[in-house]
Amino acid sequence: MGKELNFFGHIKTPDIRMLHDMDEVLYDTEWARTAENTELYYMYRDLYRNEVEHESIKAQQLRYDITAIPPQMLGREYVKTAGHYHPNVPGASVSYPELYQVLEGEGNYLLQRMEKESIEDVVLVEAKAGDIIMVPPGYGHITINSSDEVLKMANWVSREFASMYEPIKEHSGAAYYLLEKGYIPNPKYTKTPPIRYLKPADASMLGLAKGEDMYNLVSDLSKLDFLKNPHLYSAMFSKVLEK
């Protein structure tokens, strides 16, 4: 695939996640030791259609990104993102959430809530083009591409924080690895509950039609206030986590 992204006429060059950036979170470490340092996925940050919208997005302390993950195997494991958690909102006891949408292909979104060394909840959302995935406060997350196609996904997120990669690195990855034979638990965690499978989020809660491009929320960014003030939306997040 080409590395540049044309977003409404803006040509964007990506940040590139390389294989050996991921050494600490891979399942097949033996394979990784001798593997070439290849490109894994491409991150296009701070996208906008025009300057007016860019100023509106920045004024609301938000950011819209796109990530493209070509299909491949990392030894015995399907390609995935590095994974991270989010810090707490200043002055609040909850962390920043994030909103994803699959634009092309299919993705597996693994969400996990950790207390000390134990995983208290593991959620998996299997999503296809048009689907929306909510990452609630308190959950770390990774995205896995187990398909034969490029996974292209977008996200809306607060621009007021830096992601926290260390908690997942310290445990050599997320709570589960996805191999060809299925999901297997990561033994580096002292407790790992079974995976709960959830459906994608209901687009109507954002005022969107099913499958509608969520960039359209730029016309009413107040609908994304929960990304900045999650402590005011606990009922919405609880509903997202229900089976």
Domain-wise residue ranges, the chain: 5-240
pLDDT for residue 165? 97
Write down the mean pLDDT value for the chain. 96
Which of 18-27, 116-125, 173-182 has the weakest average pLDDT? 116-125
Q: Which two tokens stand for residue 149?
A: 């196609």
Q: What is the pLDDT of residues 33-89, one digit of tens each?
A: 999 999 999 999 999 999 999 999 999 999 999 999 999 999 999 999 999 999 999
pLDDT for residue 220? 98
Q: For the domain 5-240, what is the CATH code?
A: 2.60.120.10
110 HSE (CA, 13 A, CB side):
26
pLDDT for residue 172? 97
Q: pLDDT-based confidence at 1, cuts 50/70/90?
A: low
How far apart, in whole angstroms, are the C-alpha atoms of residue 168 and residue 237? 23
pLDDT for residue 117? 80
- b/e string for 25-57 if b means 16 or more Cβ within 10 A? bbbeeeebeeeeeeebbbbbeebbeeeebbeeb
Mean pLDDT of 4-22: 97
pLDDT for residue 116? 82
Residue 85 contacts by C-beta under 8 Å, 6 or more apart in sequence? 95, 139, 140, 163, 164, 167, 168
pTM of the predicted model, to two decimals? 0.97
DSSP-assigned letter for residue 169: H
Bridge pairing between strands 196-198 and 118-128: parallel
pLDDT for residue 127? 98
Burial class (CB in 10 A: 0-12, 13-18, 19+), 101: buried
Residue 35 contacts by C-beta under 8 Å, 6 or more apart in sequence? 19, 75
Q: How many residues does the chain have?
A: 243
Looking at residue 135, its amino acid is: V
